[in-house]
Amino acid sequence: MSQLQFEKVAFIGLGLIGSSLARVIQAHALAKEVVASTRSEKTLSDAKALGLISQGYTNPIDAVQGADLVVLALPVRATQKVLETIKPYLTANCIITDVGSTKGNVVEAAKAVYGEALPAGFVPGHPIAGAEHTGVHAGKVDLFANHKVILTPLPTSSTWAVERLIQLWQAADAEVICMDVAKHDEVLAHTSHLPHLMAFNLVEQLANREDNLDIFRYAAGGFRDFSRIAASDPQMWHDIFFANKTAILKAVDGFEQQLAVIRKLIEDEDSQQLMGLLGHAQAARQHFNHMLAKKPLLENTQVTQQFTIQPGAKNFQGKFTVPGDKSVSHRSIMFGAIAEGTTHVTGFLEGEDALATLQAFRDMGVSIEGPKNGEVTIHGVGMHGLTAPKSALYMGNSGTSMRLLSGMLSAQAFDSVMTGDASLSKRPMERIAKPLRLMGAQIQSTGERGTPPISISGAQALKGIHYDLPMASAQVKSGILLAGLWAEGETSVTEPEPTRDHTERMLRAFGYEVKTEGNRISLQGGGKLVGTNIQVPSDISSAAFFMVGAAITENADVTLEAVGINPTRTGIIEILKQMGADITVQNERIAGGEPIADIRIQGTRTLKGIHIPEDQVPLAIDEFPALFIAAACAEGQTILTGAAELRVKESDRIQVMADGLTTMGIDCTPTEDGIIIQGKGQSGEWGAIFTGGEIESHHDHRIAMSFAMAGLRTSGEIKIVGTETVATSFPSFTQLANTAGLAIQVTE
Ligand code: NAP
């Protein structure tokens, strides 16, 4: 603290804000001496009695002499007069700051006194914290804690002055942001001044009505919440509205325009557009908070979570419906948005990733209702109806959204930028950017490794290409095919191994012709999609954890209902069967273009290790973390090759699984494109395999859920750290797993 200590701090004005900062300075002993000047003697004597100052003066000249920090904490309109008065008495290296709610006029006032050569120590500031009450008694030592303080350093401001002020506000536990003066006034006009103006105005509108008493008497929570800030100091707000006139008038104009929009929607009873507007606003409020924090979209995933699983599970049984397929959920929104007419979706997975896709299309002007209990209604805008998003599209943690949207956005008339959370920001994007460039797209990834953010310049005429996929990736294939919808002529992709074909199937369900000839998939650009109904099948990737759980547990009997069994996704069934698991696929049927069935797995036979056939690898790519758990319980060695892709998923799934397995006493060797696992199981034996231990999931949902299943064969407690991301694909996981027979405890 000593480095930060000031010799003498002089407050000019010591009301709510000034006295709160004085409280911080006293609490942390940040100054040898604190003095103040106010108009009234009473304020000064009260401040002395409160222990905030040692001396008080009614003349500011007396206060500032010998001060190395002067804080102007008075109404902004008094700034010029005070500066004129104190100017001759300030020491050369004195830091002068203020706390005013507007900044342009404070700088103007200073220039009126000093001319352009403002003192090096002059750094305007604005704490974004306040209260309805004012005066020296209203101050609080924690008023600024966890609030933002904006400093607006000028070209004349010296670095040392800025740094010392940053330290001072940090001592108040505030988060300090430096910003340009004009930007400050524009931002505050929208986020603070306009809401206050609206609150005053609403209360005024209601107060002028004849039945005003009744209105106030019966005022509900909405009115109380909205009008709370109209109890603020009229003089202060009067000053602010004038001081920031230009920016506030702009904000009022914007408000009037938007008000006219919603007014018209109500007048016309345009239910679809009104729902779209309200849904967008509701989601945007939450979305922006998460975006700023680079956090997931769902509230309950903000905190870090862990699973603790006790040994001793006796059985694993039941009939379950696992959540909707993520891949199909994503595509239902994307295709519904660009289709003509309305698309109704049921079984939509309300997880992080699909919600990111949904929000992106709302941001591009698509009216979407829901999701509510898995139901979403999308009012398609047609192939040319998407509109430019106002700011960057935030994809959260969803690689699927970013890669598929890269294709769609490359073909739009507008520019766009896509960003993601910390984990997505490390994932490779050049694999999709490269082929799109061949089609004529202007697309830019970031840094040497070609990661997000991705910037796309619109209005490029795309041309169809033929592309040989260097890797088996359904996301890259889909991104290219989607760009191909707008491209001239034919776009085709040949894949080295068959990958998931949800895109092809769903495009067909939306009436778009897509040809599949062996490994070659093609479509002609320039067609259109027609809105339809989509039932999202249960996700086989989520079902996989329960399939593995049942396969490694004696006498287990689990049925997973209405699971999508798209042949490009059923590698898990085939591989488990080859390992000896007792699996039956029952009641096969078709829903929304996708084959579905009920899958029953019984713990009747112990598993044996195999060399996983490479042609099955792309068909089970997301299920390997779970399959590694099965392999550890099998008799003999399991070898996986040809799965380098696993290293660039949400985590390096080969390494992260190998680390966890080793912690739990399993002998395994990670290789460049796979792993060798020495199974500890013995034919006909169902005893414990894992020793227990603490597992780091690296916030990868599939790693977390896989190790949870190891709890069925563990001798010691298993702790899995970083499990909050399970909500991205399987929000009901612990509930269903515990119903089946596990004992997972969730702690934050
Ligand atoms: P406050 O509680 O009313 O205190 C104002 C102080 O300034 C009082 O000590 C007052 O002296 C003194 N003062 C008033 N007019 C003066 C004049 N013409 N010459 C000299 N001193 C004068 O106000 P506050 O809420 O602390 O606000 C102070 C500044 O902080 C304003 O610029 C405001 O824009 C800014 N701000 C306020 C909030 C908020 O929510 N209140 C939030 C952020 C920033 P007396 O004690 O003698 O009356």
Name the residue at shortest CA distance from atom 41 of ligand 1. 130
Q: Which tens digit of pLDDT belongs to each residue from 4-48?
A: 689 999 999 999 999 999 999 999 999 999 999 999 999 999 999
Which structural domains are found in the chain, ordered by start?
A: 6-179 (3.40.50.720), 187-269 (1.10.3660.10), 306-322+537-747 (3.65.10.10), 327-529 (3.65.10.10)
Q: Which tens digit of pLDDT belongs to each residue from 190-242?
A: 999 999 999 999 988 888 877 777 777 766 667 777 888 888 888 889 999 99
How much is the pLDDT for 372? 84
> Which distant-in-sequence residues (6+ apart) come within 8 Å of 445 by Cβ?
429, 430, 433, 451, 452, 453, 454
Name the residue at shortest CA distance from atom 39 of ligand 1. 130
Name the residue at shortest CA distance from atom 17 of ligand 1. 78
- The stretch 131-144 carries a mean pLDDT of 91
Residue to mutate, 11, 12, 14, 16, ligand 1, most ligand atoms under 8 Å from C-beta:
16
Residue to mutate, 11, 14, 17, ligand 1, most ligand atoms under 8 Å from C-beta:
17
* Better-scored residue on pLDDT, 301 or 350: 350
- The stretch 627-642 carries a mean pLDDT of 97
How much is the pLDDT for 232? 84
Placement of tokens 């010591």 in the chain: 14
DSSP, collapsed to helix, strand or coil, labels residue 308 as strand
Q: How far is the CA of 236 from the centre of ligand 1 (A)?
A: 8
How much is the pLDDT for 236? 86
Closest CA to 594 of 629, 631, 568: 568
State whether the beta carbon of 149 lies less than 6 angstroms from ligand 1. Answer: no
Instruction: Give the active site residue among 622, 652, 667, 700.
Output: 622
Q: How far is the CA of 71 from the centre of ligand 1 (A)?
A: 11
State whether the beta carbon of 76 lies less than 6 angstroms from ligand 1. Answer: yes
Q: Which tens digit of pLDDT belongs to each residue from 205-218?
A: 888 877 777 777 76
Of the chain, the end-to-end C-alpha distance in Å amounts to 34
Q: Which tens digit of pLDDT belongs to each residue from 640-651?
A: 999 998 988 878
Is pLDDT of 383 > 60? yes
State whether the beta carbon of 201 lies less than 6 angstroms from ligand 1. Answer: no
How much is the pLDDT for 290? 62
How much is the pLDDT for 210? 75
DSSP, collapsed to helix, strand or coil, labels residue 534 as strand
Is pLDDT of 615 > 70? yes
Q: To the nearest whole percent, how much of the chain has pLDDT over 90? A: 79
State whether the beta carbon of 73 lies less than 6 angstroms from ligand 1. Answer: yes
Q: How far is the CA of 233 from the centre of ligand 1 (A)?
A: 10
If you average pLDDT over every residue of the chain, what do you get?
92
Residue to mutate, 21, 39, 76, 128, ligand 1, most ligand atoms under 8 Å from C-beta:
39
Residue 178: Cβ within 10 Å count: 16
* Calpha distance 393→299 (Å, rounded): 19
* Calpha distance 447→660 (Å, rounded): 31
Ligand 1 atom at shortest distance from the alpha carbon of 75: 32
Is pLDDT of 294 > 60? no
To the nearest 10°, report the CA torsion of 504, 508, 513, 515: 40
> Which distant-in-sequence residues (6+ apart) come within 8 Å of 86 by Cβ?
12, 60, 61, 64, 70
Q: Which helix (H) or strand (E) holds 117?
A: none
Radius of gyration of the chain (CA): 32
* Calpha distance 747→736 (Å, rounded): 17
Which band of pLDDT confidence, cut at 50, 70 and 90, is reported for residue 298?
very low
State whether the beta carbon of 101 lies less than 6 angstroms from ligand 1. Answer: yes
How much is the pLDDT for 3? 63
Is pLDDT of 280 > 50? yes
Region of poorest pLDDT, from 125-134, 156-165, 474-483: 125-134
Closest CA to 609 of 580, 652, 583, 647: 580
Q: How far is the CA of 16 from the centre of ligand 1 (A)?
A: 7
Is pLDDT of 299 > 50? no
Q: Is 98 a catalytic residue?
A: no
How much is the pLDDT for 293? 58
Q: How far is the CA of 231 from the centre of ligand 1 (A)?
A: 16
How much is the pLDDT for 254? 94
Ligand 1 atom at shortest distance from the alpha carbon of 77: 18
State whether the beta carbon of 74 lies less than 6 angstroms from ligand 1. Answer: yes
How much is the pLDDT for 296? 47
How much is the pLDDT for 292? 62
How much is the pLDDT for 649? 82
Q: Which tens digit of pLDDT belongs to each residue from 654-690?
A: 999 999 999 999 999 999 999 999 999 999 999 999 9
- The stretch 412-439 carries a mean pLDDT of 92
State whether the beta carbon of 236 lies less than 6 angstroms from ligand 1. Answer: yes
Q: Which helix (H) or strand (E) holds 660?
A: helix 653-663
State whether the beta carbon of 679 lies less than 6 angstroms from ligand 1. Answer: no
The DSSP annotation for 576-632 comes to HHHTT-EEEEEEEEEETTEEEEEEEEE--S--B--B--GGGTGGGGGGHHHHHHHHH
Q: Which tens digit of pLDDT belongs to each residue from 46-87?
A: 999 999 999 999 999 999 999 999 999 999 999 999 999 999
DSSP, collapsed to helix, strand or coil, labels residue 521 as strand
Q: Which tens digit of pLDDT belongs to each residue from 91-101?
A: 999 999 999 99
Ligand 1 atom at shortest distance from the alpha carbon of 36: 9
* Calpha distance 529→341 (Å, rounded): 9
How much is the pLDDT for 207? 80
State whether the beta carbon of 78 lies less than 6 angstroms from ligand 1. Answer: yes
* Better-scored residue on pLDDT, 272 or 734: 734
- The stretch 165-169 carries a mean pLDDT of 96
How much is the pLDDT for 695? 96
How much is the pLDDT for 220? 67
Ligand 1 atom at shortest distance from the alpha carbon of 60: 20
The DSSP annotation for 38-69 comes to -S-HHHHHHHHHTTS-SEEESSHHHHHTT-SE
Which band of pLDDT confidence, cut at 50, 70 and 90, is reported for residue 652?
very high
State whether the beta carbon of 674 lies less than 6 angstroms from ligand 1. Answer: no
Alpha helices (runs of H) in 244-270, residue ranges in sequence order:
245-267
